[in-house]
Structure 1
Amino acid sequence: MKIIVYDNHFNGNEWFVIGIVVLAFAAVWLLPRRFSPAQTTFNLLIGITFGVVFDHSIGTPPFDLYDAGDNSTYELIDLFSYFMYAPFGYLFIYGYERLRMFEIMTVVYILFWAVMSAGTEWLAVQAGVFHYKHGYQLAYSFPIYLFLISNRLE
């Protein structure tokens, strides 16, 4: 397999990952506590788990629809990038519990988070964190976000 090199410097894509991790974990830290330490840990880990499972499902062979980071192989910052997903899982559950969603509002809430997720992915693409391949487009991620987010509420 040929290695594709997109960049070879510490620059925008690494700073994007670091910035998202710091800002999102700061939001988690600053919010009033609603969950036990075990629940908090679970809510953080579920974001990482979903991110890893789906990134490796569609981002590696046989699909290989995108690369993350500076090249098509994994680097340390790529491993660190999985921590970007942790606070979003927590914040999603936190907001759902705090706002006490019901019926149609749950649908609106899921759509809101799917749009936010797609928007964050778009920013990550602009920063060079993700590089689409084989015709993959951001629009294809939206149904994946809907599926993942709706399954977090079960």
Structure 2
Amino acid sequence: MVHLIYDRRFDINEWFVLGMIFGGLGFIYFLPKKLPELTAAYCFLIGPFLGMIFDHTIAVPPLDLYDVGDEPIYSLFDLLSYTMYAPFGYIFVYFYERFKITGQKKVWYIIIWTIMAILLERFCVIIGVFQYKNGYKIAYSIPVYFFVESLLLFFYLYFFKKKASPSEVKN
């Protein structure tokens, strides 16, 4: 077993998390308002929710494949790091609607977002937001991101996308 040395100072990984949160929210602030309030609330909550579920599935014993933050124990900044996923849920759905993604393009849309998520995770590993352990490799995150983004889109389409009624189809 490899002994990990954790950085316990407030430094680049904490600044990065804060930057992602405020940068993402700032980006959203300047986007034209396209999503209804309830949909926007879903988008802001689903990212942190799914992040916590998957982190608490594969990043805690018995698997314990990686740590988040500066310590192997759960800390306040670990909780705060989940909020950096909130803008991504909104941006994901926003551009899905903006580009009017349909049919097989949905798969390509999810693949593109998976690639962006992997690149972001790689950067997070480099700056110390995540520390892999117990043989975890970034390639293992690919199916996780693909599944999470598919789930996010499925729930959005199922619960929030307006379905045409039979009378609307006839007209």
- Superposed CA offset, 1:44-92 (max 9, x none): 1001111110011101111100001111011111111011111111111
Whole-angstrom distance in 2 between the partners of 1:107 and 1:37: 26
Which residue of the partner structure matches residue 7 of structure 1? 7
Aligned residue pairs total 152
Task: Give 1:45-56 correspondences, 5 Å limit.
Answer: 45-56=45-56
TM-score using structure 1 length: 0.94
Q: Is the 8 A contact 1:5 1:72 kept in 2?
A: no
Whole-angstrom distance in 2 between the partners of 1:71 and 1:153: 33
Whole-angstrom distance in 2 between the partners of 1:18 and 1:85: 11
Task: Give 1:1-154 correspondences, 5 Å limit.
Answer: 5-154=5-154
TM-score using structure 2 length: 0.85
Structure 2: which 5+ residue stretches go unaligned?
155-171
| 1:21 alignment partner AA | I
Q: Is the 8 A contact 1:69 1:77 kept in 2?
A: yes
Q: CA deviation at 1:105?
A: 1.5
With 28-37 and 119-128 compared, the bigger mean Cα shift is at 28-37
- Superposed CA offset, 1:14-72 (max 9, x none): 11111111111111111111122221111110011111100111011111000011110
| 1:146 alignment partner AA | F
* 3-state secondary structure, aligned to 2:153: coil
| 2:115 alignment partner AA | V
* 3-state secondary structure, aligned to 1:153: helix
User: Which runs of 4 or more aligned residues in structure 1 lie more than 2 Å from their structure 2 counterparts after TM superposition?
Assistant: none
Whole-angstrom distance in 2 between the partners of 1:73 and 1:4: 13
Q: Is the 8 A contact 1:47 1:89 kept in 2?
A: yes
Q: Is the 8 A contact 1:44 1:89 kept in 2?
A: yes
Q: CA deviation at 1:4?
A: 5.9
Whole-angstrom distance in 1 between the partners of 2:56 and 2:4: 17
Q: CA deviation at 1:104?
A: 2.3
